[in-house]
Amino acid sequence: MSGAKGILDMIEAKTAEKAEKIMKEAEELRELRLKEAREKAADLADSTAKKAEKEQKAELARYEASMKLKAKYRTLDAKESLIKDVLDSATKAAEKEIEGKKRKEILIGLAVEGAAALGIQSLELVFPEKQKADIDPAEVAKAVSKVTGEKVSVALAKETVRSSGGLIIRAKDLPKQVDNTIEARAERLSGRMRELAARVLFREKAASE
């Protein structure tokens, strides 16, 4: 996993896999509801033959609109369900990867990313308890300096953060931090995930395009 890109690639794949099934089900429901609407409208027309044609058409239009709206809500519910499912899958995959062979590389990458965003020379890293012993602060400082071009000092905070993986990068003497735990990054990506789901489910363009 290389930052947000790895998670987004995972989301794209999961979304494309499930979207087709959801769209098919939504279309089948829509066709069924419209068929029911037309049949009911036909029965209504038979029983109200004396009503004005305009009134009959209005009744049919209202009923069809109602069925279309119900189908739309079902699709929206499916999109939210898909987003939750993909987010859970991506988070679990990220947790698994951060426990794998690239664990150290990933954690240093997250630390460098957060440190570069803060632009501070004196930094502290806050880890989940199970990851705290994996990182050499001097190695992180060297990696940050290579990216920022500035000499920095990095220390490990005494306290830990409750998280399944990742870390928090913060200024040592200032109330500034970047939360790069798995949970925080997933939360920040949720908006982009909705764009991806909308793009596949509704063939919409992302708002940023």
Per residue in 96-153, pLDDT (tens digit) is 776 666 778 888 888 899 988 988 889 999 988 776 666 788 988 999 999 888 898 9
Give the residue among 131, 130, 76 at the shortest CA–CA distance from 108: 131
CA distance 190 to 18: 17
CB-based contact 67:33 (threshold 8 Å) = yes
Q: Which CATH superfamily is domain 103-175 in?
A: ATP synthase, E subunit, C-terminal (3.30.2320.30)
Within 8 A by CB and 6+ apart from 68, the residues are 30, 33, 34
Secondary structure element (H or E) that encloses residue 56, with its range: helix 53-98
Does residue 12 surpass a pLDDT of 90?
no
Average pLDDT over residues 28-55: 69
The region of weakest confidence among 71-85, 87-101, 121-135 is: 87-101
The region of weakest confidence among 35-49, 61-75, 83-97, 171-185 is: 35-49
pLDDT given for residue 168 in this prediction: 92
CA distance 185 to 199: 21
pLDDT given for residue 196 in this prediction: 74
pLDDT given for residue 203 in this prediction: 61
87 token code pair: 């987010």
pTM check: above 0.85: no
Does residue 60 surpass a pLDDT of 80?
no
**Band of residue 206 on the pLDDT scale cut at 50, 70, 90:** very low
Q: What is the mean pLDDT of the chain?
A: 76
**Band of residue 208 on the pLDDT scale cut at 50, 70, 90:** very low
Give residue 106's identity as a one-letter amino acid code.
I
CA distance 161 to 181: 9
The region of weakest confidence among 6-15, 55-64, 136-145 is: 6-15
Average pLDDT over residues 2-8: 57
**Band of residue 174 on the pLDDT scale cut at 50, 70, 90:** confident
**Band of residue 170 on the pLDDT scale cut at 50, 70, 90:** very high
Check residues 139 and 67 and name the one with the higher pLDDT: 139
pLDDT given for residue 207 in this prediction: 47
CA distance 97 to 102: 7
